[in-house]
A and B are shown apart, each in its own frame.
Chain A
Amino acid sequence: MNDLGKNLRDKLDSLIGQVLPSGLTLEGWRFNLHVVNLLEVGIKNNRLGGPYTAPSLKTDTEGEVYLLWSDNKYSLGQIDRRVLEEFETNLDLWEKTAYLDPYGGGLVKPYNPPSIPLAQQEAVKITNGEFDIPFNLLEQGKKVLADYDCQKINSGVRISYDRGLTANSEGLWVMDEETPVEVFFEGDDLFSDYFVEKRLPTNKEFDCLLKYMGGTIEKLRRKTSFSTQGELFIIFPPKVFEAFLEHYLLSNLTGQLIAERQSFFDLEDFKKKKKLFRKDFTVRIDGTRPYRFNSYRCTEEGVSTGEIDLINAGRLSTPILNLKYAQKLDMKPTPIPVGGGRGLLVIVPDLMDLNTVIKKLDRGLIVHSVLGLHTQDFSSGKFSLKADQCLLIEKGKIKGKVEAVIAGDFLTGLNASDSIFAKFLQEENPAFCMRAQAF
């Protein structure tokens, strides 16, 4: 990695100031490189490591180069381990694909971003050939879910060792190491859940995941009828809530969409710090916590990790901005959330306990799964979905599993005074309860 990075740096530096055959003059560059070892293994239909979930080890070098030419022209290309061997061919292509962009410029000045521990040695050893732990996790999970009478189990473990380098012609040189770990289980086609961090799960975390899964599957096996239709409260457990946050909030907070008038929010909304949500609702990015799945040292552009509120006490604070759109909107670049909706931290003071919320509801649904979220128009804020795995609540008690079609406005729900945020087991983000229509 170091040699490839240094040689690429030297090669690009040697071109700076030269007029190339295309007439372009290189004025600056940045690149990032990742050397990744990824181990995956899974269970499909109770069977470990068959032809569809065979244990696999991937080794790959991948990255991106961004070139700053004279006259506001730029090139963006994917690079791999052959970037130097095929440099002349690549350079020719990069010259040909140079495009004009008044806001394309901008390189981060050299600095030392926070050194956050993100690589666990135990996980590194797995990708280097000590394969027992992922197999044991799968075996243990299968055994525990079988105790809950699960007849069909699908699961998977993914463990990566990612060595990264981010550099630019200003002298930025940031190296990092990460070990993202994902563990996933699904039982009886009813319910799935996962663990994801930049380390292996502790025994307690793993037990808690399986126990919650087993308990939920048991509840979803007990069917009940749901014949009436109308408005009621629906509860999104944290991981479903995060999927909605990703689709409706994260998309609409993207700087590029705001700059181009393609978001639900307008630029003026941010400039005026417009209050569009409840005053107890804050959404934060925090990439600084050790071994967390959404932590990192710097973005691919070299912008430092950090902690920043996108929505503060109900008011829009800043869009998510890379260097280009920060420049275009005349705002500061921000850290970028990693991991979709799970990269957004929802902070609400005085969370209610979910069981208390359930007891208070005359009628409601706990929505454990929806079909078709990705088909919805994120910019409208509205949803119309099939909720295929729900638990019906009547007079404060869970009655059993139902299916429903649900419809509502998620962004409006986040601002509604009668919506409720509730503490949910070991999850960091809360569960969310809002009014919607169901039939």
Chain B
Amino acid sequence: MTGILRVDSYNQTIQAIRNATAQAGLGYILRIQDKKETMVKVNNKDVEGIATSFLKGMGIQVFTPDGYTGFASTDRIEPLIAGNLVELACKLAKKVQEKQGENNKAIYKLSPTRERSILKLKYPYGSLDLNEIEKRLKEVNSELTELDPRLSVRTVFRVVDEEWRIARQDGTDSSFMTPRSFIYNIFTAKERGKTITTDSNLPGSDLSILIQPDLVRKLKIKSIAAAKLALNLLTARPIKSGSYKMVVDYALAKGLAHEAFGHAAETDGMESSILGKNGKMRLGEKVAADIVSIVDGPLEGDYAYQPISANGIKRETVHIVKDGILRAGLADLFSAEAAGVPLTGAGRVETCHFLPLARMSNIRIEVKDPVLVEKEFEEITPEIIYKKLLHSGLIRENEEVLYLTGYQGGQVNPASGKFVFNCSGIYRLGETALLYQPAIFSGNVLSALNSIVAGIGPLKTDAMGTCGKMFQGVPSSGGSHYFLLIDKNPEITIGGEIDE
């Protein structure tokens, strides 16, 4: 693709690294990062802070001919320090060899690639005056703050302009952009000694989230719903703990895909993953209901978009599960072969100062023959969901069904297959839905996906988050149909309390 990137200017440094590693007889992966970002925070109508930051640096991972590896990184991208950096990384690699540590020669089996991914953003970083950004955010915040005197509202906006360049000893030299943005509203409702916090968000890749009327409107509808939820939760009771038939929204479905499945499908953990056996991925096994597929891959314009891996390999869109059968893993350079799956370019890294790990990008659950829904997701109330389920014959009248809304993050132990995620609120569905306090949703990887009964509405894949693994956080996103219906299963439980 044509166009100029800031990382194009580091040719001399790349050449110096190439010379230094060739002289030392080393293989290498060089990662150059150039990031700038702006963050604006508005709290209860006033600007709390505007902060700008930059990150320019490079990290070099060297490999001895026997595959022992060491890594050195710096905030200087200069040809003059290339020799010193290579020498340091080499010294560390030799220490691993001396201690008879792990070696991996996968780096020497790759073919060179020269990928270039430049996105044409509608409203890129810097295209809107900061005063205008501030003004628009204050408007968003003020309008929400005035909804109710019991509410306080904090608005956080972040826009990131990030570029990467990855080079290897085989001649690979790939460059790409990973732009992202979000607006995040946090609502705190306080009354008579009770405090409840909820949130709403709108992710994107540029400043469109502040400018495009349809996006501004979408955030407003989501935010009003989150604000009302916080207020209503002040008087909500805890739900009785146990197993239920449940509807989850697409953001929670993203949590289900991400926590209950995605992490277990990452090949760098296959030796102990519930989806592995003797280190190999259990390909061909039935792991979900026949109607369920799980897909992970980069989507242009998405918050977690990354077209090329941190090891310089093109990121593939992967059908991890197709029609209920485990088909592929999220495989990075160093673990694909051992896991017995094709390399899919899943290596991601937080900054150039870290080592890449196998990670998800945008993960979504797709269900065959979803129930059609005409309305926008943001317009659908719990009562509308109830009617839709009834009319579709998916539930009986007066059947006990819970609706979980608002993803609050999750966690998994890929070795045991236990996962949890949390919601903002729980409704007992009916002609009039009854609200309960949020409670933890917990289950087992291998039983959860078998319990998906139906998808409701079209696919929606913009549920955003930050995924933490081995002390690194990277943007993540995903989704599903507007809603998923999950059958009652004793292995899937809602926390809550013993009695309502």
Contacts and interface: CB of A to CB of B under 8 A. Distances in A.
A141 B186 CA distance: 43
Interface string B456-482: 000000000000001000000000000
Nearest to B199: A377
A1 interface: no
B61 interface: yes
Interface-central residue, A53, A57, A131, A375, by most chain B CB under 10 Å: A375
Contacts of A15: none
Contact of A56 (B52, B71, B195): B71
A407 interface: yes
Interface stretch (A70-78, A116-124, A287-295, A333-341): A70-78
B50 interface: yes
Interface stretch (A41-49, A168-176, A205-213): A41-49
Contacts of B50: 75-76, 97-99
A78 B71 CA distance: 25
Contact of A189 (B95, B106, B268, B416): B416
Given A49-B99, A371-B412, A77 B53 contact: yes
Contact of B415 (A54, A189, A229): A189
A75 B105 CA distance: 49
Nearest to A376: B422
B134 interface: yes
Interface in B59-81: 59, 61, 68-76
Given A77-B52, A263-B195, A52 B355 contact: yes
A41 to B, nearest CB: 8
Nearest to B152: A261
A407 B496 contact: yes
B492 to A, nearest CB: 11
B241 A371 contact: no
Contact of A97 (B89, B130, B334, B409): B130
A233 interface: no
A151 B6 CA distance: 47
B338 to A, nearest CB: 10
Contacts of A405: 241, 440, 442, 493, 495
Nearest to B129: A96
Interface string B119-160: 000000000011000100000000000000000101000000
Given A49-B69, A54-B61, A55-B96, A372 B420 contact: yes
Interface stretch (B18-26, B41-49, B166-174): B41-49
B154 A260 contact: yes
Interface stretch (A299-307, A311-319, A348-356, A378-386): A378-386
B136 to A, nearest CB: 14
Interface in A379-400: 379-382, 384-386, 388
B355 A375 contact: no
Interface stretch (A3-11, A59-67, A417-425): A59-67
- How big is the A interface, by class? 35 or more
Nearest to B37: A78
A119 to B, nearest CB: 21
B497 interface: yes
Interface string B251-264: 00000000000000
Given A230-B498, A375-B420, A384 B104 contact: no
Contacts of B47: 99-101
B113 interface: no
A284 interface: no
B272 A189 contact: yes
Contacts of A264: 195
B197 A379 contact: yes
A372 B421 contact: yes
A55 B52 contact: no
Contacts of A80: 54-56, 75
Contacts of B438: 377, 384
Given A379-B196, A380-B196, A82 B95 contact: no
A139 B437 CA distance: 48
B488 interface: no
A437 interface: yes
B96 to A, nearest CB: 4
B413 interface: yes
A406 B495 CA distance: 7
Q: State the main secondary structure of chain A at its contact with B.
A: mixed
Given A76-B51, A375-B420, A378-B197, A129 B152 contact: no
Nearest to B72: A57
A52 B334 contact: yes
B24 to A, nearest CB: 16
Nearest to A96: B130
Contact of B272 (A81, A129, A152, A266): A152
A224 interface: no
Contact of A262 (B92, B102, B197): B197
A101 to B, nearest CB: 7
A231 B498 CA distance: 8
Contacts of A385: 420, 440, 495
B52 A97 contact: yes
B416 A60 contact: no
Interface string B440-454: 101000000000000
A158 to B, nearest CB: 9
B51 A77 contact: yes
Interface string B270-297: 0110000000000000000000000000
Contacts of B410: 372, 375
A262 B439 contact: no
Given A47-B101, A439-B241, A375 B422 contact: yes
A371 B442 CA distance: 9
B418 interface: yes
A198 to B, nearest CB: 19
A375 B95 CA distance: 40
Nearest to A378: B197
A229 B242 CA distance: 11
Nearest to A131: B95
A114 interface: no
Interface string A77-115: 110111000000000011011111100000000000000
A177 interface: no
Given A54-B96, A99-B134, A375 B411 contact: yes
B241 A407 contact: yes
Given A97-B38, A97-B50, A51 B195 contact: no
Contacts of A77: 51-53
Interface in A254-294: 256, 260-264, 266
B57 A371 contact: no
Contacts of A230: 498
B93 A54 contact: yes
B419 interface: yes
A135 interface: yes
A261 B470 CA distance: 34
7 closest A-B pairs by beta carbon, nearest first, are A50-B102, A384-B495, A375-B422, A78-B53, A48-B101, A47-B102, A49-B96
20 contacts: A47-B101, A54-B93, A60-B73, A60-B353, A78-B53, A78-B54, A80-B55, A81-B75, A101-B47, A152-B272, A260-B152, A260-B154, A262-B188, A372-B411, A379-B196, A380-B196, A382-B437, A386-B440, A406-B495, A407-B495
Given A58-B59, A407-B238, 12 more contacts: A45-B272, A51-B333, A58-B353, A97-B50, A98-B50, A372-B420, A377-B197, A380-B195, A380-B197, A388-B418, A405-B493, A407-B497
Interface of A: 41, 44-45, 47-62, 75-78, 80-82, 93-94, 96-101, 129, 131, 135, 139, 152, 189, 229-231, 256, 260-264, 266, 371-372, 374-382, 384-386, 388, 403, 405-407, 437, 439
